[in-house]
């Protein structure tokens, strides 16, 4: 039984319109122990023969038997297995992975075939010593001379421990001294193996060759046994060893580390893309959300809060009970416990949206001026970003405030006179006398609100100015004896005056806000309405969403919250899908740029992969290698991009505000988008690489490196 037997094998190349003959009707056999020299002029088909018998290239006609097994039905995978089990290949152009050291190149072969882990290192050292490269063991392959590279390749081929070594003009690029060393080496390792060596200089191998094959024009014109070899013994079926998944991951990492410049470029490029993308995403989402939520103040919600939108900030809203009962401690606890963001419940909202600010004056250096166009907020909402205090500090006392950088005329140390009519809402002692509810009346009472619960369970709530008595039959149409419970509230305006000291200036990008101290606003008394202040608008919206609207009436002046609630209504859902699609296509576009830019880099890697494959790595594992590599780069880039973004956002208010709209879900979406695109890119590359045969890849990359 022969190891390899060719029966009328032909190979044609389609080039352009014509077909050229690689080899024609070749019938021959190869056996273990042989040292076959293949000679012939250039273009005679030597390489073709070698590539075909080593399964690197396909054949069209005839049959090749490997240990008596037909191969015409072989699939790519079968050839892959054949190469992995049988072939050690040495090319003329010393196919070595330039970015790896000698040691790593040899280890590669051991790892690919999953050579016993504890013996690998020793085996690699032995082989390297054998080919005389001990002194260059950790040199990068790119830095070796031609002869040294070829010796490293031989060590690598030997590491495979396979029965067949094929060498295509291994000395073609070498001086005669190196050539001799290579041939000696090949001879030395050839015992019990089949060595097929192509050379146009037969004299070089004459000394060792056991057989000479001469080719001409694709045909064998001479096939002569020079030395008798031992009777060909039946070779054992070599066993296949496969690369393990940890090895694949290790290779991915190694590939990244051995090509630092390439990795750096990849990282840099992806970081830029991710940063730009995150901004674009944020911007689009901001747009989307504004579109969806709409803008504007539904003042009609409440005739109780008569504030102007100009005075409110986007992170605050107001809460009342729907049944018009006064707020209680349990309301306070319920609202404080809401999930969705950092927020604080102010028990008496009236301080911060006092109706009349006409008297708000600043005293500085004896000159007085009034403040117009400002908003009020609480320092609670900026306490998380103290880095934007550009002058002074956060308040420590009740009467200290911080002002926006918009107020150029206000300096730290100035004083602000805070006048306003604070509207309060008080319950009055009252009783039923005859048909009337009576109570005490003063000139300060603005208007009354009478609430009555009748014995049949119905309610009446009537507003108006009733002076000191309210006639039950006249206003409700019911008898006084039907009343079970009742209460009388009165609204009053109280002039409020505070002198506040400016202790800090806050760079809020000229929003024009006066930040009243948290302590100042934090009233110990329960008011009739609460104010909820969140750190950001997004958090405020989320808290808003989690409030039970059956119990509470919520007024959010900055936004028309009715629209937010219908966010997941069908139209809004479609709108948001469109925005997501827009974002996705943007990412795709960025990746196309990335793809075009990196294609050339990846092209150079095709040679590396061809080498991996020629050593016996299987295609799907190599595919995974590329995927892992790209995923690792993607994840590192993502982490760095996020670090960059948060440091920009730490020092820049606008970016800080912009990015604050991103939620965990958004980050997940961004991450998954890049994961998807990375896989897509890697798969695209894999497809392009593996659709070509090894030989085509090697030839292609050779052309490109020229």
CB of 198 to ligand ADP, least distance (A): 7
Which two structure tokens, joined as six digits, stand for 476? Answer: 């409700």
Which partner from the list Mg ion, ligand ADP, none does 43 bind, CB cut-off 5 to 8 Å by kind?
ligand ADP
CB of 20 to Mg ion, least distance (A): 14
14/261 with CB nearer ligand ADP: 14
Contacts of ligand ADP in 268-297 (CB under 6 A): none
* Cα separation, 120 vs 244, whole angstroms: 14
Nearest residue to Mg ion, by Cβ distance, number only: 47
39/99 with CB nearer ligand ADP: 39
- If phi > 0 it is left, if psi is from -120 to 50 it is alpha, else beta; for residue 68 that is left
CB of 47 to ligand ADP, least distance (A): 3
Site string for ligand ADP, 28-57 (x = CB under 6 A): ------------x-xxxxxxx---------
Q: Does 596 bind ligand ADP (CB under 6 A)?
A: no
Which residues contact residue 576 at a Cβ distance below 8 angstroms, ignoring those fewer than 6 apart?
Answer: 288, 292, 567
56/503 with CB nearer ligand ADP: 56
Q: Does 315 bind Mg ion (CB under 5 A)?
A: no
Contacting Mg ion (CB under 5 A), which of 10, 44, 47, 678?
47
Q: Does 214 bind ligand ADP (CB under 6 A)?
A: no
**H or E element at residue 237:** none
Per the CB < 8 A criterion, the answer to whether 548 and 424 are in contact is no
Site string for Mg ion, 350-369 (x = CB under 5 A): --------------------
Site string for ligand ADP, 609-638 (x = CB under 6 A): ------------------------------
Q: Does 93 bind Mg ion (CB under 5 A)?
A: no
CB of 44 to Mg ion, least distance (A): 9
Q: Stretches 44-52, 206-214, 412-420, 614-622: which one binds Mg ion (CB under 5 A)?
A: 44-52
Q: Does 340 bind ligand ADP (CB under 6 A)?
A: no
Per the CB < 8 A criterion, the answer to whether 59 and 666 are in contact is no
* Cα separation, 419 vs 265, whole angstroms: 61
220/292 with CB nearer ligand ADP: 220
* Cα separation, 5 vs 536, whole angstroms: 77
* Cα separation, 387 vs 653, whole angstroms: 9
Contacts of ligand ADP in 498-557 (CB under 6 A): none
CB of 19 to ligand ADP, least distance (A): 9
CB of 591 to ligand ADP, least distance (A): 33
Instruction: Please choose, from the candidates 646, 647, 651, the residue with its C-alpha nearest in 3D space to the C-alpha of residue 388.
Output: 651
Q: What is the dihedral of CA 646, 649, 655, 657, to 10 degrees?
A: 100
Angle among Cα 332, 337, 339 to the nearest 5 degrees reads: 135
CB of 692 to ligand ADP, least distance (A): 11
Which residues contact residue 390 at a Cβ distance below 8 angstroms, ignoring those fewer than 6 apart?
Answer: 405, 505, 506, 507
Q: Does 199 bind Mg ion (CB under 5 A)?
A: no
Which partner from the list Mg ion, ligand ADP, none does 40 bind, CB cut-off 5 to 8 Å by kind?
ligand ADP
Instruction: Please choose, from the candidates 607, 579, 588, the residue with its C-alpha nearest in 3D space to the C-alpha of residue 673.
Output: 588
Contacting ligand ADP (CB under 6 A), which of 3, 6, 22, 196?
22
Residue 27: CB atoms within 10 A of its CB come to: 13
Which partner from the list ligand ADP, Mg ion, none does 13 bind, CB cut-off 5 to 8 Å by kind?
ligand ADP
Q: Stretches 47-55, 333-341, 489-497, 551-559: which one binds Mg ion (CB under 5 A)?
A: 47-55
- 28 by Cβ neighbours in 10 Å (0-12 / 13-18 / 19+) ranks as middle
Contacting ligand ADP (CB under 6 A), which of 20, 309, 646, 651?
20
CB of 235 to ligand ADP, least distance (A): 26
CB of 41 to ligand ADP, least distance (A): 7
* Cα separation, 127 vs 129, whole angstroms: 5
Which residues contact residue 43 at a Cβ distance below 8 angstroms, ignoring those fewer than 6 apart?
Answer: none
Instruction: Please choose, from the candidates 29, 67, 64, 41, the residue with its C-alpha nearest in 3D space to the C-alpha of residue 225.
Output: 29
Count of residues in contact with Mg ion, rule CB under 5 A: 1
46/505 with CB nearer ligand ADP: 46
Per the CB < 8 A criterion, the answer to whether 290 and 567 are in contact is no
SS (H, E, C) 139-208: CEHHHCCHHHHHHHHHHHHHHCCCCEEEEECCCCCCCHHHHHHHHHHHHHHCCCCEEEEECCCHHHHHCC
CB of 247 to Mg ion, least distance (A): 33
20/705 with CB nearer ligand ADP: 20
Q: What does DSSP say about strands 483-506 and 400-404: parallel, antiparallel, or unpaired?
A: parallel
Q: Does 222 bind ligand ADP (CB under 6 A)?
A: no
Residues that bind ligand ADP (CB under 6 A): 13, 15, 20, 22, 40, 42-48
- Contacting residues toward Mg ion, per CB under 5 A: 47
């Amino acid at each position: 039984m022969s190891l390899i037997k060719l029966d009328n094998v032909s190979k044609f190349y389609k080039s352009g319109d014509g077909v050229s003959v690689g080899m024609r009707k070749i019938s021959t056999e190869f056996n273990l122990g042989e040292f076959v020299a293949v000679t012939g002029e250039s273009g005679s088909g030597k390489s073709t023969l070698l590539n075909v018998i080593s399964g690197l290239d396909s054949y069209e006609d005839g049959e090749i038997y490997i240990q008596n097994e037909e191969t015409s039905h072989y699939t790519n995978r079968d050839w892959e297995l054949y190469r992995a089990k049988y072939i050690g290949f040495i090319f003329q152009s010393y196919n070595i992975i330039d970015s790896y050291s000698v040691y790593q190149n040899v280890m590669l072969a051991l790892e690919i075939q999953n050579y016993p882990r504890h013996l690998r290192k020793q085996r690699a050292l032995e082989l390297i010593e054998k080919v005389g490269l001990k002194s260059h063991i950790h040199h990068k392959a790119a830095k070796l001379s031609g002869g040294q590279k070829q010796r490293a390749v031989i060590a690598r081929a030997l590491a495979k421990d396979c029965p067949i070594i094929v060498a295509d003009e291994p000395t073609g690029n070498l001086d005669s001294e190196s050539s001799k060393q290579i041939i000696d080496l090949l001879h030395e390792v050839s015992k019990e193996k089949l060595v097929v060596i192509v050379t146009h200089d037969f004299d070089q191998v004459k000394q060792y060759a056991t057989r000479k094959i001469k080719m001409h024009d694709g045909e064998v014109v001479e096939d002569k046994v020079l030395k008798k070899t031992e009777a060909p013994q039946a070779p054992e079926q070599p066993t296949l060893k496969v690369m393990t998944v940890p090895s694949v991951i290790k290779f991915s990492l190694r590939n990244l580390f051995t090509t630092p410049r390439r990795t750096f470029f990849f990282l840099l490029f992806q970081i830029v893309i991710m940063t730009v993308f995150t901004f674009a995403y944020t911007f689009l989402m901001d747009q989307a959300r504004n579109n969806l939520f709409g803008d504007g103040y539904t003042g009609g919600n409440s005739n109780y809060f008569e504030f102007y939108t100009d005075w409110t900030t986007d992170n605050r809203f107001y809460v009342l009970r729907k049944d018009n009962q006064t707020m209680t401690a349990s309301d306070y606890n319920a609202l404080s416990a809401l999930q969705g963001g950092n927020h604080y419940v102010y028990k008496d909202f009236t301080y911060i949206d006092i109706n009349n600010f006409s008297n708000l004056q600043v005293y500085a250096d004896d000159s007085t001026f009034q403040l117009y166009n400002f908003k009020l907020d609480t320092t609670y909402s900026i306490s998380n970003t103290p880095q934007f205090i550009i002058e002074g500090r956060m308040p420590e006392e009740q009467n200290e405030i911080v002002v926006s950088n918009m107020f150029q005329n206000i300096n730290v140390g100035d004083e602000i006179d805070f006048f306003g009519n604070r509207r309060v809402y008080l319950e009055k002692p009252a009783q039923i006398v005859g048909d009337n509810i009576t109570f005490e009346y003063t000139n300060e009472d603005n208007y009354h609100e009478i609430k009555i619960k009748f014995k049949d369970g119905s309610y009446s709530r009537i507003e108006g100015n009733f002076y000191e008595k309210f006639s039950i039959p006249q206003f409700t149409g019911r008898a006084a004896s039907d009343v079970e419970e009742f209460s009388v509230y009165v609204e009053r305006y109280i002039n409020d005056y505070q002198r506040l000291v400016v202790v800090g200036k806050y760079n809020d990008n000229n929003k024009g806000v006066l930040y009243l101290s948290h302590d100042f606003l934090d009233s110990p008394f329960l008011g009739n309405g609460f104010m909820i202040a969140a750190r950001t608008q997004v958090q405020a919206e989320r808290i808003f969403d989690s409030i039970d609207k059956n119990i509470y009436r919520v007024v959010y002046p900055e936004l028309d919250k009715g629209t937010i609630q219908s966010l997941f209504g069908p139209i809004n859902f479609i709108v948001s899908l469109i925005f997501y699609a827009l974002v996705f296509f943007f990412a795709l576009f960025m990746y196309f740029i990335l793809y075009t830019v990196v294609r050339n880099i990846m092209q150079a890697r095709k040679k590396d992969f061809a080498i991996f494959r020629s050593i016996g790595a299987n295609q799907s594992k190599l595919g995974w290698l590329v995927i892992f590599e790209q995923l690792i780069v993607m994840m590192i880039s993502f982490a760095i991009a996020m670090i960059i973004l948060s440091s920009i956002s730490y020092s820049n208010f606008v970016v800080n505000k912009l990015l604050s709209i991103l939620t965990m879900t958004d980050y997940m979406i961004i991450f998954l988008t890049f994961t998807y695109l990375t896989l897509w890119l890697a798969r695209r590359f894999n497809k392009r690489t593996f659709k070509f045969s090894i030989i085509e890849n090697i030839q292609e990359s050779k052309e490109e490196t020229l």
